[in-house]
Structure 1
């Protein structure tokens, strides 16, 4: 199985102050990331992954104040310069970078990722996302979010343009002939002449083809539209489902969509989102998970969920049903997956109070409700069972460590050896690119 490490929120939602986190260093100290990358590479992990957002959460109370005060969803940096630096101190581990197709231009992103693939010697993945947060939209001049379907149409066109640009200069176009002075063969450099609903791009890309030809494409949509989109272009899918039944359903739906697009379902894995706490003993891990209960105050938890769903929890009525919440999210063009865990847990007709919802909020914000805590044997049992139930393709995205660097070190030092003992994880890296490590087909 593949194992990736998601550091998107490692310094958010109170994690930065829990026992086992750094003392004397704070985000965005590059040395912290160098230490994590070297530890992850010692464990032969596939990839370090960085999600992103470009606004400060402002939904709760129509203000950024609570998010700024409690460190909810901020601060963040553009991680591309960090990846360029980390690539110089590592040799094999890959790097996943996130940009929004809702706001960015495909030519810029295609060119940037080509350059990063060169800098890393072919170890870049691109997590292409649609954006569903008003704070991000406002920073790009949008008064409101585009509707869900339009965002996905734009994403698919965005990816089409990027892929055409990465193909626009053939792999053997450059000759660098010192005797004649010829740099490249014009017959192998092509305009793409794209004219679409959202973008008009002449092309070609003015860069040298990169080691992988194109970065590994990752997509995380869990809605029907998201699954359909990922089946069209994703090399690897980031699966957000926590419930085993939902995971199996996602895998089944994705396989059907892949087959419908003429793609081999065996060739596309899912990296399932999971938080783990690995202890020498089960009791130790469970005690550490309980530390999450008190890490966030009421306002901080409400701020997190407001940002995630697009609903201002401060303005909600005292009572409502889960179905009413979901309908309001969809009406606001936010993610239709916002309350899927509550629907699965309680049903659409279940009535809640605002305090009930905030109680659920801290569980989601800290990951308490989907943290697998136990000994290395306990966690490995869970991973094996889930891996087999979902087709033994892909693996896991170990997300948002409770405390960094402790949980990274425990994953590498306790969990990885147990998985190796069971024949479930590599002992060394094979191949030179991230496509090789992940087992992703070559870009054509």
Structure 2
């Protein structure tokens, strides 16, 4: 990835959840999953030069809080979630340049199916697909694939590494020049350039080859978001681009340093691998307008909504917390359940120490800003937000850019980023060039 050029993606994973569907600036008369919403937003983003629209995924309805799906269903917490591949196919027909990041679980899905699907989508979009490879950490997802408990943390990453290796072998199993289409002889392809992969590993046995025509990018851009030491090691082994969490500058610097070390061990150049930092924005025409919009977000959230969100994403039922506990004990309970020790609780341990005693009410007070995303939200007018982003970009190595999300109504929150902030960043020369290549890989320079 080109050093010193800021790339931008929009995270559309939750534009319809946690009350965004009802806030000021949300569509009236159009509701999720109306594809026209995404078509319009994609066209606005492309006019602004956004590199990629990103869709995270989860296949389970949150049920960790109080052992029930009822709170998540009632308040729309991390639910509903659809497979967004058909949406991407549709919005690719009304755009020409912007890329699309699609998420599938290496923990539960089969690599042959995913490799074939992504090959097809890369054709449909003319080479604009990225694959966000995830190791699933939520119990609600596991239950839908026949698991009574989560797979061991490190084993999930071992499976991911083999999953990606199989996908890459399948994408390479038909050479880019294998298809000859000789109209004179009727010869379609060269058999010498189509070969089985004969993979027999710990998790998968796949004969191959992929029964598909090679796609424009051959390999989609590979994205990974591992934040633990094991996850970072996995991402260093194969990822073209990293999705990082932007809660604190110290955490970002630590992630960048650990990734650079892991990349070096893999024989890869750390200067070529960027991180897109997950960053929530509230941009207003004035600072006062932006602050008022920030305050409007808090009105949605109740203790029940916060508990549902945190329990689902941490893998621990916070309704069962004792009145007082030590952070290290809470982290260890999450680890014992094979959930992710990073994220909200990991950040608390890093900040306060594992021996820190915390009350249940204090945790929920902290959890409020985590669930709302306000712990990693930049609020202000376009000039102030651009200043903050430029300063942070330089401080974290100037490699990669940002994955922006908004807690505001859909589509106004992201539309204002497109219409107010990005022109300011482009005027300063901060952003990467607008779509210099034909494919997403070329535009991201990965």
Q: Once the 2 structures are TM-superposed, how far is the Cα of residue 346 of structure 1 from its aligned partner?
A: 2.4
Matched, 1:358 2:364: yes
Q: Once the 2 structures are TM-superposed, how far is the Cα of residue 361 of structure 1 from its aligned partner?
A: 2.4
User: Do the aligned residues in 1 keep the contact of 2:196 with 2:207 (CA within 8 Å)?
Assistant: yes
In the alignment, which residue of structure 1 is the partner of 2:117? Answer: 112
In the alignment, which residue of structure 2 is the partner of 1:244? Answer: 249
Alignment of 1:16-415 (within 5 A): 16-338=21-343, 339-415=345-421
User: Do the aligned residues in 2 keep the contact of 1:46 with 1:93 (CA within 8 Å)?
Assistant: yes
Deviations 1:204-242 (A, max 9, x none): 000000000110000000110111111100000000142
User: Do the aligned residues in 2 keep the contact of 1:304 with 1:361 (CA within 8 Å)?
Assistant: no
Flag structure 2 segments of 5+ consecutive residues without an equivalent: 1-5
Q: Secondary structure of 1:15's match?
A: coil
Higher deviation after alignment, 255-264 or 399-408: 399-408
In the alignment, which residue of structure 2 is the partner of 1:6? Answer: 11
Deviations 1:140-173 (A, max 9, x none): 1111111101000000000000000000000000
TM-score after normalising by structure 2: 0.97
Deviations 1:406-440 (A, max 9, x none): 11121111111111121111463211100111111
Q: Secondary structure of 2:21's match?
A: helix
Distance in 2 (alpha carbons) for counterparts of 1:60 and 1:242:
24
Distance in 2 (alpha carbons) for counterparts of 1:148 and 1:416:
38
Flag structure 1 segments of 5+ consecutive residues without an equivalent: none
Distance in 1 (alpha carbons) for counterparts of 2:18 and 2:121:
30
User: Do the aligned residues in 2 keep the contact of 1:130 with 1:151 (CA within 8 Å)?
Assistant: yes
Distance in 1 (alpha carbons) for counterparts of 2:296 and 2:325:
30
Distance in 2 (alpha carbons) for counterparts of 1:123 and 1:403:
27
User: Do the aligned residues in 1 keep the contact of 2:315 with 2:339 (CA within 8 Å)?
Assistant: yes
In the alignment, which residue of structure 1 is the partner of 2:430? Answer: 424
User: Do the aligned residues in 2 keep the contact of 1:292 with 1:368 (CA within 8 Å)?
Assistant: no
TM-score after normalising by structure 1: 0.97
Q: Once the 2 structures are TM-superposed, how far is the Cα of residue 403 of structure 1 from its aligned partner?
A: 2.0
User: Do the aligned residues in 2 keep the contact of 1:102 with 1:130 (CA within 8 Å)?
Assistant: yes
In the alignment, which residue of structure 1 is the partner of 2:442? Answer: 436
In the alignment, which residue of structure 1 is the partner of 2:3? Answer: none
Distance in 1 (alpha carbons) for counterparts of 2:273 and 2:225:
13
Distance in 2 (alpha carbons) for counterparts of 1:10 and 1:323:
34
Distance in 2 (alpha carbons) for counterparts of 1:371 and 1:7:
16
Q: Once the 2 structures are TM-superposed, how far is the Cα of residue 360 of structure 1 from its aligned partner?
A: 2.2
Aligned length: 440
Deviations 1:297-342 (A, max 9, x none): 1111101101011111112211112111111110100012031221
Distance in 2 (alpha carbons) for counterparts of 1:393 and 1:28:
34
Q: Once the 2 structures are TM-superposed, how far is the Cα of residue 401 of structure 1 from its aligned partner?
A: 4.2
